[in-house]
Amino acid sequence: MKLYSDAYAPNPRRVLWLMAEKGIADIEVVHVDLAGGAHRAPRFLDMAGVSAVPQLELDDGEVLGESLAICRYLESLYPKPNLFGRDPLETARIEAWTRPGRADVRYPPDARGALRPPGAGGRGAQPVPRARRHRTGDGRCSASPVRAPAG
């Protein structure tokens, strides 16, 4: 198998981290120079079908894209150590953390770093205030918190 990756792209890092945690060393990592446009070259597009990394080319020539799909595939091939959960609750928690940008936007972490929805008690139980974008006098954009009406 071959993993097509770029050292500076964030999505392939997820796959590379999983490979490191599991000690997977039998997959060739092929550098794709995104800055140089190698992902838009006809040869790469013929192989992958899209101009994005990571791409995992299997031994039979089939290609898997999307970092989470590749990680789940590798988890199935290399089950030890288990990185995707041993029971439904642990699996759900790990699934939630694979999308940290979506979780952090709404609820701040409490003192232990756990995300808590409003009403759950403890520190961090209040939602993060929304922001309103507006133009400043010199034409730049800035944000200010949306304030609830008084009274």
Reported as a pLDDT band with limits 50, 70 and 90, residue 36 is very high
The full set of domain ranges for the chain reads 2-77
CATH topology of domain 2-77: Glutaredoxin (3.40.30)
Backbone angles phi, psi at 4, to 5 degrees: -90, 125
Q: In angstroms, rounded to a whole number, what is the distance separating the alpha carbons of residues 29 and 148?
A: 52
Residue 127, pLDDT score? 46
Q: Which pLDDT tens digit goes with each residue over 90-99?
A: 888 888 877 6
Q: Which pLDDT tens digit goes with each residue over 41-88?
A: 999 999 999 999 999 999 999 999 999 999 999 999 999 999 999 999
% the chain with pLDDT above 90 = 54
pLDDT of 1 > 50? The answer is yes
Cα 33 to chain center, whole Å?
20
Residue 105, pLDDT score? 45
pLDDT of 107 > 60? The answer is no
Mean pLDDT of the chain: 78
Beta bridge partners of 144: 132
pTM of the model: 0.65
Higher-confidence position of 101 and 63: 63
